[in-house]
Structure 1
Amino acid sequence: MMKRFNFNTTAKAVFSAGILSFALAGCGSDGKDGEDGPDAPYGVDIKSATTLKAKITHAAVTDGIVSVDFSLENANGIAVIGLEEFTDINTLGFGIAKLDALQKRTLVDTTAPDEPASRKGTKPTQWTSYINSVKTPNEAHIPEGFEALATEQIQASIETSCKTDCITMLSAGEYRYTFSKALSDYDQIDGLNTEYNPELVHRVTLELRPTSKTQNATLINTHFDFVPALDREATPEETRNLVNLQESCIRCHSDNYEHAWAPKLAMHGTKRTEIENCVVCHTTYSGDPETQATLDFGSMLHRIHQGTYVMAGYGGSVHDYTDVTFPAGDGCQSCHIQGEDAPAQADNFFYHRQEACASCHMAEFNPVDQKAWFTPPENQKDRGFVGNYFHYYATPEMDGVPGADVRSHFVAGDCSACHADDSNPMGAAKFHTAKATETINVRDAYAYEVSNGTYDADKGELTFALTWDKATLPHQDTSISSFYINIQAFDGVEFVMGPRPSSGPLGRNEGRISVDLTSVETNEYLTAAADGNTITYTLSGIGAPHTQIMDLKQGFIDGKLSVCAQAPDQTPESASLVDCATMAESNANFTVYVGSNKASFSEDGSDIAMRAMVASEAKCASCHEKQADFSESHSYKYAGAPDNSCRACHASEPNTAVKLADGSCVACHNGAPAHAIKAFDRGFDFKVLIHGLHADKRTGYYNPNKAKGDITFPNHYGDCAVCHDKGQLTMTNLGNKPAFAAADGEYSPTVAACASCHAPTAAGKEAAVQHFIANGGVYQGTAGEYVPGSESCATCHAEGKAYGIDKVHPVNYK
């Protein structure tokens, strides 16, 4: 009987290996080992990359051909590979420009020569692209009314057609782009100097977007400034950067580039975002053939923010910016931010140039309707259309800057007033910045502090002190037009303006008094006692109708000082204070508002807790600037005489300036029944008002010149982070807040905030309204229907929750 052996797997393997070794032992030599092949590139393929970062590491010009070395990696620092094979890439473009003498745009019928050597004053260098073309108007794309202006224009561009055909992979994540032509082989245009000079600073730009879908994480805009002759990167001092995108632009505009419909600074198909890239095409000599509008970056932005710009874009799309509203002041420093951290060329706005000057002073003029300006007066030098206007034809009555007498400087022989030189390094900027500079000086000179006040209920008196470092008291200073102190009762949770009883000697508001400190000699209820730099004021007569102040015996005090100043456009160095009685005598006179700290008052003068800050003062100021002034908005009803009746709230003098988020506005703009004369979609409760304004949901305004659609918001109105800081949307203590009483019913506090955008009226918003009501909210309810604390909105929608405000809105905290 044959015996069977049971081999396990291991034994079989050992046995087999032995047999194989024995068999091979009889074979000859297998020769030398071959060399290892190259390692496969390690990295993430660009087609699957969810994040991209690019850095240009080197650029060179060899025999006139530009090459650019750059790296690609993801957010984790892993090399991104496969670009050279990505033939279906949506966007891959490179630009090349030199920093050289300014080149002017040639306007129709211009006969004046453009010779840089003949120009007066300091002229900083400007970008000139090597890639340019002459564009002829497309008749089908000319906007109505611009037919006479359509004409050939030069346009700078970048190289976008070569894409991956011009890409070479150097190593994993390292690439080289070689331009398809030598610089001299791009179109050469008569009158435009594109001669290559290796001694000049050059800029290469890169734009990259893998697919047609724009995503912040994968959209690339970057640049590299270099000096070809020295084979090195240019220093910040050698190149040209005037403004910082984040500091100057994104403080108001949105950089949430991937959002489908929100306004955002992503242009040309939402693929171009960086200023340094923009200026390579938006050059001083570029124009739009269909409208003859300038495409110069600075001039274009000036006109857009003024609401005076129209041009025809790609495919004939008309870009009409005439409805744009600008929330900041009209000074240069709103965008041209100077200081230690500013770009190296931040002061370059001091220096005049044709397109920038014309963008404001000649905003409503054009070479057709004002054709006569092409011809100078007899025996005068022809300076071209723009130059002839400034030197010969400008008047204060017609100028785009009301009252500006620009021609007078030429008549007086004061060339440096516009043409910056050693005698006046600021050039025309000394006029443009005079008002802003004087405002700062006045606010510094008139800085003051309000102390906590002490309220004596038995006497009906409020005593507070003012720290005042000037020798002249406020009521004796002829440069002070008014100095209002606002006194507002506060119950510890919210400001509430109660019913309006008959008027008393200090107005008719139950919880608010505005008193002018300059009236101390005429107001029998106000006295002042000075001791060094402290002035102690006592306000008496606080009785009926000010029942909230009498009952609560606590609240807040703040001030608004109005100073008469002058910033002459002819001699800005003489900017000074003026007698308020002479304010109407000169267009150079203006009012400077000086705000105060927020002090409190109580029976013992101690601090009281501030109202919860649910919005960011800094974010308000980022667009509206510090100590924003909304006097005009408050001057359409009950304006003037703020010591009397309704004007304690409505008049522009004591209110409408200084701070927006500390309760100063909410003191009047609250949900009190006094506001029930207006429907909800015109409500003046602050949250309803501000949401409705920024989202353009209001149906009407007191301003007779304003209508729905007139307010443009430069960010996504659904991005709560534009106005709110992280942690301010937790919805805590909302149960203590009062309802908002409108003419069409009562609204619970959370509903009031949400409905101001989601359901300003019920029509077509039935689902939202039912959602409010189903969760304890009140929408158009009867008076008293809302029971404080009945809303359950915070359960799901408080910040940080699964369906929190920050989750269901496109909130972009930074």
Structure 2
Amino acid sequence: MMKRYSISTAVKAAFGVGALSLALVGCGGSDGKDGEDGKPGEIAVDINSATAVQTKIESASYDAAAKTLSFEFSLTNPNGVAVTGLEALTDPLRIAFGRMGTRSEAFTPYSLEDGTQVTGRADGDEEIWLSYRNASKNGVPMTGTNNWRPTRDCPEGLNCLSYLGEGRYRVTAPEIIDTNGLDYDYDANRINGIYLITYGVGQNKLKNVEAYYWDPLTEQSVSSPKKVLEMDTCTSCHVGQDHIRHGNYGNTADGCGFCHTDYTQYSGSGIDGEGNTVEFNFDGSIKGLVHAVHTGITEGDRRELAKFNSVIANANNPAFTYEFDGAALDSEGNPKAELNFPASTANCQSCHVSYTTTEETLPEGLTAHALAWFGDKDVTSCQSCHGEYHKGSSLVAPGEEGATMVGCVTCHSSQDGNTRGGAFRHFAGHEQASSQAASQAGILVGASYSQIAWDETSATLSFTLNLNKGEEAVTSLHVPRVTVYVNAVDAVKPDAYLAARTSGSATANPDGSYTVTVDASKPNYGLPSLAEVIANGADLAITSSFSTCFKNKSSTLVELDGEGNCAGVLSANAAKTEFVKLDGTPGAVRASAVDYDNCASCHNNDMVARKGAAHYRNADVHTCAQCHEAGDYNSLVVRVHGTFGKAHGRADVHQLVSSANCSACHSDLNFGLENARSTPMRWNKGDASYSSPQAGVCASCHVSSSYEIGGGKDAAKSHIESMGGVVAGSYEAAMLNSESCLTCHSAEKVAELHKQN
């Protein structure tokens, strides 16, 4: 391509066309060649103009002689276009650096109050992740506060972050290793790793994280050496980095482990039940924090208890480690309530792989470390929930050269045929009866229905209920009370409950079964009676709720005492809804736009995040809808799941999913209004108001009191009604609607506006 020249209009006028031609010929030079081509400019976007960034570490190495870490990475936008200008920013990167090692390497000997020296750990050979960047607080080793920063930690006169061109950068980090007194150093025989944090860079405060591991002997990248959880385990509840603490640091357990190592501890102080100030340390590992947060008390409350001198249980069970699982404390140091969280650490399988999984059948990407939880190998793991349950008496074992830290696993071990295994106590159904968890054993009990009879004259429905745990009958000797609810669905188009929910009375029979009698004559909440819809050919939906008495720490049934009390543990059943026809054959199953698996990924211990007499443990969506019918948005979806921008209305669970993310609850097929039900949705059971089907779907969020976009909920309500929708009217008005939301809001448009694609 020839070089281009620009001649001004004034010059053109002075010379004229012919004179200009002669002038140009005269300037051509003796060789007659054109000027050389210029170099093409770099195709890139400046960091301050980028809307998203991603890094890819290409290589890394550590020079042991020079004590310097070096690595190169590319920085691009999601389309692969190079991003420039990172090196000019004030604080663009934070870097964690570490390697695989053992617990013994990070162990510091200590003395007990009686002078006994604790010189080692029983699990000292267990592999853990060691950080090369340790800090300390009040003499307690910890990580997470000492990430290396090129602009802050670079020695004077050295350029630690340089641009190489084409979106590639080089980091040079001298003297990066500082283990802060712990007795380990760089080891070229271990897998090393970098966690690169792009920390709120550019005008748009962009963030990105990347973990990179390599073998120093070959300088080749390798996969994560200690990945114990699938990513979906966390993100099924915490959807996106914005919905987990330290969002700038990512949202993977793998990444969290770079800072919250297995040996990390935090120090704190609190006031015990007698008003005494207590100084304590607690587990700051990612495992310890996750266990503690998910025991029931909310993360905010735990931080309050840990750091602001609130009441704690006792010196052996300070904040984060209550001996009772999941209860906040009142002003007298007593638990306020029982377990109160949808995902419970009392069930290890809420997060971890099945205990039946072998190393050969682990999900792709997970390591053998994923199996360690049920091997009871960790001497401190139990303490993240239970604290020093035996007040320190069984945490160490004396030896010839001092005591060894043994924790709980000396007695509570599943190894060598010991049936007192701690891990096996935390869930039911693992075929080791003496170790099954009573708190979870209720899910093993199922209900079946037979001998259904319908008396049209008296509008009375009756049937036989049998409860069984496998082949074993569960009777009134084991169950204090049974509650039965009955509703109905259209046998052809079962997309809603048709009647007012009706309760039945259960009477125990001598053979261990129950006879259930239901008065189906009464309408309620503006809905027809059960008798009316049965007469029109509807199928039945039956839900039984009960708790079963089990022997403590087992799934062995225990009979109630003479006053009907359980001497063991009362465990709630799964409260699943069954659909049957009047002749006892399977009935039409109520259709739901929500995929139950999406609910259960968070609510894997309780379907509700709060306890109450009217709520069922582990209920499916059909059971919830017995009271909170699919359209009962004002009392359920808006109040709990429909707060704009948050999945939940409760402040203590705002760090979870966004209600703008349809896929958090719905499958890819259920984003559109095409899936709206055919009958009106109950808007408010208090005044028996109803919405038209499509309007109810949209209004569940957009007419929420928390909706603030545009003109807020009033503008959204006005728009819905202008298109023929009914937000809160009579059942008849909602049934006779001619709403036209679908004219504009197709499934594709809904997905687009809610950022699903």
Matches within 5 A, 1:743-782: 743=686, 746=689, 748=691, 768-769=713-714, 772=717, 775=722
Distance 1:287 1:256, change over 3 A: closer
2:232 corresponds in structure 1 to 247
- SS state at 1:667 partner: helix
Equivalent in 649, 674, 688 of residue 635 of structure 2: 688
Structure 1 residues 692 and 189: CA distance shift in structure 2, 3 A: same
- Does residue 204 of structure 1 match 2:194? yes
In the other structure, the counterpart of 1:87 is 88
Is the CA contact 2:56–2:74 (under 8 Å) kept in the aligned structure 1?
Answer: yes
2:254 to 271, 276, 279: 276
- The letter for the 2-side match of 1:255 is G
State which of 225, 232, 237 in structure 1 corresponds to 2:220. 232
Q: Which amino acid aligns with 1:275?
A: A
Q: Which residue in the other structure is 2:335 paired with?
A: none
How many correspondences in the alignment?
Answer: 657
Do residues 53 (structure 1) and 48 (structure 2) align? no
Shift of 1:41: 4.7
2:217 aligned counterpart, secondary structure: helix
Contact 2:704 2:713 in 1 (8 A): no
1-structure distance, mates of 2:473, 2:285: 48
Per the TM alignment, residue 178 of structure 1 is displaced from its structure 2 partner at its CA by 1.8
In structure 2, the residue matched to 1:703 is: none
Any residues of structure 2 matched to 1:314-713 within 5 Å, and which? 326-329=341-344, 330-338=346-354, 340-341=362-363, 343-344=366-367, 345-349=369-373, 350-353=375-378, 356-362=381-387, 415=410, 417-418=412-413, 428-433=422-427, 438=436, 474=473, 487-491=486-490, 494-498=496-500, 513=504, 519=509, 521=511, 547-558=531-542, 560=544, 564=548, 569=553, 575-581=554-560, 587=568, 589=569, 591=571, 593=573, 598-601=578-581, 608=588, 610-625=589-604, 628=606, 633=611, 635=613, 657-660=618-621, 663-670=622-629, 685=632, 688-694=635-641
SS in 1 for 2:601: helix
Report the counterpart of residue 220 of structure 1 in structure 2: 208
- How far is 1:795 from its partner? 5.7
TM-score where L is the length of structure 2: 0.68
Question: What's the offset of the Cα at 1:622?
Answer: 0.9
2:679 aligns with 736
CA distance in 1, matches of 2:509, 2:39: 89
Matched, 1:176 2:170: yes
Q: Distance in 1 between matches of 2:445 and 2:304?
A: 49
Q: Is the partner of 1:229 in helix, strand or coil?
A: coil
Query: What is the aligned counterpart of 1:131 among 119, 130, 133?
Result: 133
Cα 1:472/1:171, change in 2 over 3 Å: closer
What is the SS of the residue equivalent to 1:55? strand
Report Cα offsets for 1:502-550 as digits up to 9, x if no partner: xxxxxxx7x565757x648588967xxxxxxxxxxxx899778852354
**Structure 2: distance between partners of 1:200 and 1:564:** 51
**3-state SS of the aligned residue for 1:198?**
coil
Indicate whether 1:72 and 2:75 are aligned. Answer: yes
- Following TM superposition, by how much is the alpha carbon of 1:598 offset from its aligned partner in structure 2, in angstroms? 4.3
Partner Cα separation in structure 2 for residue 181 and residue 514 of structure 1: 75
Aligned partner of 2:272 in structure 1 is none
Give the AA of the match of 1:133: A
Structure 1 213/326 Cα, relative in aligned 2: closer, same or farther at 3 Å? farther
Is the partner of 1:620 in helix, strand or coil? Answer: helix
Q: Deviations over 1:225-262 (max 9, x none)?
A: 223234333455xx212223x321111113053xxxxx
Deviation at 1:195, TM superposition (A): 1.8
Distance 1:757 1:60 in 2: 51
Of 248-257 and 339-348, more deviation after overlay is shown by 339-348
- Cα distance change of structure 1 residues 470 and 524 upon mapping to structure 2, 3 Å threshold: closer
Q: Please give the secondary structure, in 1, of the residue aligned with 2:287.
A: helix
Q: Does 1:297 align with 2:281?
A: no
User: Which SS does the other structure have where 1:348 is aligned?
Assistant: helix
- Structure 1 residue 714 corresponds to structure 2 residue 690: no
Q: 1:48 to 1:685 in 2, by over 3 A?
A: closer
Q: CA separation in 1, counterparts of 2:308 and 2:229? A: 30
Change (3 A) 1:599 1:727: same
State the superposition RMSD in angstroms.
Answer: 5.8
The amino acid that maps onto 1:248 is: T
CA distance in 1, matches of 2:628, 2:121: 55
1:160 and 2:149 matched: yes
* Residues 679 and 692 in structure 2, CA contact (< 8 A), matched pair in contact too: no
Judge conservation of contact 1:155–1:281 (CA < 8 Å) in 2: yes
Task: Using the aligned pairs only, state the percent identity.
Answer: 17
What is the one-letter code of the residue matched to 1:599?
A: F
Q: Name stretches of at least 5 consecutive residues in structure 1 with no aligned partner.
A: 1-8, 137-150, 258-263, 391-405, 410-414, 499-508, 527-538, 570-574, 636-649, 672-683, 698-706
AA in 1 matched with 2:240: D
Q: Is the 8 A contact 1:95 1:280 kept in 2?
A: yes
Specify the SS of the correspondent of 2:210. strand
How far does residue 193 in structure 1 lie from its aligned partner after superposition? 1.8
Separation of aligned partners in 1, 2:469 and 2:389: 45
CA spacing shift, 1:794–1:39, aligned 2, 3 Å? closer
The 3 A distance-change label for structure 1 pair 305 and 442 is closer
Q: 1:61 deviation in Å? A: 1.6
- Distance (Å, rounded) in 2 between the aligned partners of 1:155 and 1:656: 38
Separation in structure 1 between the aligned mates of residue 109 and residue 659 of structure 2, nearest angstrom? 41
| TM-score where L is the length of structure 1 | 0.64
The answer to whether the Cα contact below 8 Å between 2:482 and 2:544 also exists between their aligned partners in 1 is: yes
The unaligned stretches of length 5 or more in structure 2 are: 1-14, 270-280, 311-318, 321-326, 329-338, 523-528
The CA deviation string for residues 11-44 of structure 1, in whole angstroms up to 9 with x for no partner, is 97998699669x96xx5x799x999997765544
* Distance in 2 (alpha carbons) for counterparts of 1:606 and 1:171: 67
Query: CA distance change for structure 1 residues 172 and 475 in 2, over 3 Å: closer, same or farther?
Result: closer
* Aligned-partner Cα distance in 2 for 1:597–1:434: 21
Aligned letter for 2:557?
V
Structure 1 residues 120 and 448, CA gap change in structure 2 (3 angstroms): same
Deviation of 1:693 (Å): 2.8
Change (3 A) 1:757 1:327: same
Does the residue aligned with 1:252 lie in a helix, a strand or coil? coil
Give CA deviations for 1:133-181 in whole Å, capped at 9, x if unaligned.
3345xxxxxxxxxxxxxx7654452211437932344552333322132
SS in 2 for 1:205: strand
